[in-house]
A and B are shown apart, each in its own frame.
Chain A
């Protein structure tokens, strides 16, 4: 007999969410010049968490002006002083880590286990890492006196709201740029809480500005003539549109876009470890990860063994209340995203792939999708080609390492890949041939601020993290 888990919910009393939020411009929360209010909901319950402001072009202009005004002093500040501001921010994030983890779980729907153990530690780590660069830029390999670009317009997605903010803001500030950041329309809250962290840290007014809103706000920011640098993480379609918008301008551009990562399991891989890696590869954050290992390529001779173990493991995943500390799979971020996942999964069935999910009871309210895997998938199937951005794994097979490489590379994307094998030379040979910016061997979905992250091909250009991440914000 199996023991049942008792409910272990994290208290939400630690978070004080205001009923309504303005825009954070020039160090203050201000109202829109007429953009109106939108609601952000908890994906797990559909409860309205707060109202936030839909910034219009005029608001964006105000924010860019504030950032421009602040740029002069901020960029002239000795690096060591900028560093201390970033260290302060990093420390305050650590102090408020539990509060922010709960907030992020409420607004995004991802399990508290992940916000607490993955998102927040990495957010703080990124600020610590780039804080240390602020007074060492002469040594970063971009010449003796690398200069900041000016005002950075940054647009981030909803899958890792605070982590993507950290990836964007930490290197921008370290290099002496000022920032106007637009969080995603479904997850604006942690960025607004970050504004309060800037206040606590005593960050000069206008250095960080937060404008909330939907794609219209993002488009106004990207197109603003006084923005010197555009950084975007999100879908490939929007990334292409942004690339067209900045064409012919002097704006520097970095794009972190979609992916369709291959997780390659060779016949000599340790099966139990590989299964854990497959699970974290596609079910971490409900699969709403651009570098997710959404295509499992398993060597034909171990297909059945791996699939049996995988199905057994999936049956033990716990789906439900994201605030419960024992929850593995939380809610899908929005009704819109749920509809997209649902439609693509149905298309997978319609095209002849075989669908399987563990016995799994879905909560009656909120946006939920059971962990799903498809077998009998070919490379021509839509579910093997399009990014689903949900907990849906397509299983394909291969016979030789060359075939594995060919199939792994048979995609418009090139962000991530995984290799499972006990043989070092095989890992390195295959890693060499994969057209992907990040290759995990015998592990998956590992991130670290010291390590460059970014894609080949239509997964975008530029790298975030590490020394490489500085280049996006320097005039080099």
Chain B
């Protein structure tokens, strides 16, 4: 018996740049595809969800106010950190989704590349979706996209890592902050992502990761008056409808669940879904028919 006894990790939430346990003190058993015990994950409560919204709101000003160039650098830094932990995530994804090592490796590689893809979008989305409008009159106006605010993300249930990153990265690339509910049955890659975010340059509170019962956590987030938008990616049909109804109370922006192949290169919809368009007008002082106006 020369086998060394390994050290287990206590998985914790990632909220406001810190790693709290659930305030409820609850955990639930996470198993692999063969029902073997993997870890006890925090079973977050409504209070954890509300705390996460507070953290996300606090982080919004700084993150949305950062330059797009800076946000791109920060997102790319996340990819760098992920690359360094590639083996860990291959193992976690293999366990979580019951994949072979090579398939899990393909998932992790695609996930890292997805971060890189979104890192490159931060300073381009405004040019693609905004611009100057040719107004018929002595005015000049510019339409620019702006982040909508705090976005609650119900992460995909099956794709615990690639799917997760595919819905989180676009939200923060554009300057929003996120409260993410990890896949209910496979939350460990998401919780480990929190560790990566904490050691990259993403400011605390920009991404907050909760694990637990999706329905229990999503309901208070959908009804929360300080949440601006909700991505229903991981909600089933009945839950999605219930959440959309709750979201109507403060007219949250809602991205409905849709069939997505997360291996495909995404379009811009996941970014534009959480962007507002602001149009700013200004007189040009053009010389009118009546003579000088400046």
- A and B pair up: yes
CB distance from A397 to the nearest CB of B (A): 24
Q: Are B282 and A442 in contact (CB under 8 A)?
A: yes
CB distance from A202 to the nearest CB of B (A): 28
A443-B281 in contact given A450-B135, A466-B133, A466-B143 (Cβ < 8 Å): yes
Interface residues of A in 360-396 (CB under 8 A from B): none
In the bound complex, residues from chain B placing their C-beta under 8 Å from that of A476 are 269
Q: Are B278 and A439 in contact (CB under 8 A)?
A: yes
Q: Are B134 and A442 in contact (CB under 8 A)?
A: no
Q: Are A247 and B245 in contact (CB under 8 A)?
A: yes
Tell me, in angstroms, the Cα distance from A221 to B245 when the chains sit together. Answer: 19
In the bound complex, residues from chain B placing their C-beta under 8 Å from that of A453 are 279
Q: Residues 441-464 of chain A: 1 if any B CB is under 8 Å from the residue's CB, otherwise 0?
A: 111001010111110111011010
- The listed residue with most B CB atoms (<10 A of its CB), out of A241, A434, A439, is A439
How many residue pairs link A and B with beta carbons under 8 A? The number is 101
Q: Are A458 and B278 in contact (CB under 8 A)?
A: no
Residue of B137, B276, B277, B280 touching A431 (CB-CB under 8 A): B280
Interface residues of B in 249-273 (CB under 8 A from A): 249-251, 253, 267, 269
Smallest CB-CB A-B distances: 4 pairs: A248-B241, A243-B248, A247-B244, A450-B133
Tell me, in angstroms, the Cα distance from A111 to B237 when the chains sit together. Answer: 50
Name 12 A/B residue pairs within 8 A (Cβ), A-sorted. A143-B267, A244-B248, A247-B244, A248-B245, A434-B278, A441-B283, A448-B133, A452-B133, A456-B148, A457-B250, A458-B251, A461-B251
Instruction: Spell out A's residues near B (CB within 8 Å).
Output: 125, 141, 143, 236, 239-241, 243-244, 247-248, 255, 257, 412, 427-428, 431, 434, 436-443, 446, 448, 450-454, 456-458, 460-461, 463, 466, 468, 476
A452-B249 in contact given A247-B244, A446-B137, A446-B139 (Cβ < 8 Å): no
In the complex, residue of chain A having the shortest beta-carbon distance to the beta carbon of B135: A448
Tell me, in angstroms, the Cα distance from A448 to B143 when the chains sit together. Answer: 13
A457-B251 in contact given A442-B283, A451-B135, A451-B141 (Cβ < 8 Å): yes
In the complex, residue of chain A having the shortest beta-carbon distance to the beta carbon of B145: A468
In the bound complex, residues from chain B placing their C-beta under 8 Å from that of A461 are 251, 253
Instruction: Spell out B's residues near A (CB within 8 Å).
Output: 128-129, 133-137, 139, 141, 143, 148, 228, 237, 240-241, 244-245, 247-251, 253, 267, 269, 276-283
In the bound complex, residues from chain A placing their C-beta under 8 Å from that of B129 are 141, 468
CB distance from B132 to the nearest CB of A (A): 9
- The listed residue with most B CB atoms (<10 A of its CB), out of A412, A431, A434, A463, is A431
In the bound complex, residues from chain B placing their C-beta under 8 Å from that of A466 are 133, 143
A248-B244 in contact given A257-B251, A460-B251 (Cβ < 8 Å): yes
Residue of A257, A443, A446, A463 touching B277 (CB-CB under 8 A): A463
A448-B136 in contact given A441-B282, A456-B276, A468-B143 (Cβ < 8 Å): yes
Q: Are A450 and B134 in contact (CB under 8 A)?
A: yes
Q: Are A248 and B277 in contact (CB under 8 A)?
A: no
Q: Are B283 and A443 in contact (CB under 8 A)?
A: yes
Q: Are B277 and A452 in contact (CB under 8 A)?
A: yes
CB distance from B254 to the nearest CB of A (A): 8
In the bound complex, residues from chain A placing their C-beta under 8 Å from that of B279 are 437-439, 451-453
In the bound complex, residues from chain A placing their C-beta under 8 Å from that of B281 are 438-441, 443, 446, 451
In the complex, residue of chain A having the shortest beta-carbon distance to the beta carbon of B229: A461
In the bound complex, residues from chain A placing their C-beta under 8 Å from that of B244 are 243, 247-248
In the bound complex, residues from chain B placing their C-beta under 8 Å from that of A141 are 128-129
Q: Are B136 and A437 in contact (CB under 8 A)?
A: no
In the bound complex, residues from chain B placing their C-beta under 8 Å from that of A125 are 136
In the bound complex, residues from chain B placing their C-beta under 8 Å from that of A446 are 135, 137, 139, 281
In the complex, residue of chain A having the shortest beta-carbon distance to the beta carbon of B281: A440
In the bound complex, residues from chain A placing their C-beta under 8 Å from that of B278 are 431, 434, 436-439, 456
In the bound complex, residues from chain A placing their C-beta under 8 Å from that of B247 are 243, 247
Tell me, in angstroms, the Cα distance from A385 to B156 when the chains sit together. Answer: 39
In the complex, residue of chain A having the shortest beta-carbon distance to the beta carbon of B269: A476
In the complex, residue of chain B having the shortest beta-carbon distance to the beta carbon of A456: B276
Q: Are A240 and B248 in contact (CB under 8 A)?
A: yes
Tell me, in angstroms, the Cα distance from A143 to B272 when the chains sit together. Answer: 14
In the bound complex, residues from chain B placing their C-beta under 8 Å from that of A412 are 250
Residue of B137, B249, B277, B282 touching A240 (CB-CB under 8 A): B249
CB distance from B276 to the nearest CB of A (A): 5
Q: Are B143 and A244 in contact (CB under 8 A)?
A: no
- The listed residue with most A CB atoms (<10 A of its CB), out of B137, B228, B267, B282, is B282
In the bound complex, residues from chain B placing their C-beta under 8 Å from that of A450 are 133-136
Tell me, in angstroms, the Cα distance from A240 to B129 when the chains sit together. Answer: 27
CB distance from A167 to the nearest CB of B (A): 15
Residue of B128, B133, B251, B282 touching A243 (CB-CB under 8 A): B251
CB distance from B43 to the nearest CB of A (A): 27
In the complex, residue of chain B having the shortest beta-carbon distance to the beta carbon of A253: B254
In the bound complex, residues from chain A placing their C-beta under 8 Å from that of B251 are 236, 239-240, 243, 255, 257, 457-458, 460-461
In the bound complex, residues from chain A placing their C-beta under 8 Å from that of B148 are 456
CB distance from A77 to the nearest CB of B (A): 27
In the bound complex, residues from chain A placing their C-beta under 8 Å from that of B139 are 443, 446, 448
- The listed residue with most B CB atoms (<10 A of its CB), out of A125, A244, A248, is A248
In the bound complex, residues from chain B placing their C-beta under 8 Å from that of A452 are 133, 143, 277, 279
Tell me, in angstroms, the Cα distance from A451 to B248 when the chains sit together. Answer: 27
A427-B133 in contact given A239-B251, A244-B245 (Cβ < 8 Å): no
- The listed residue with most A CB atoms (<10 A of its CB), out of B134, B137, B276, B283, is B276
Tell me, in angstroms, the Cα distance from A406 to B143 when the chains sit together. Answer: 22
Tell me, in angstroms, the Cα distance from A466 to B228 when the chains sit together. Answer: 24
CB distance from A459 to the nearest CB of B (A): 8
CB distance from A272 to the nearest CB of B (A): 14
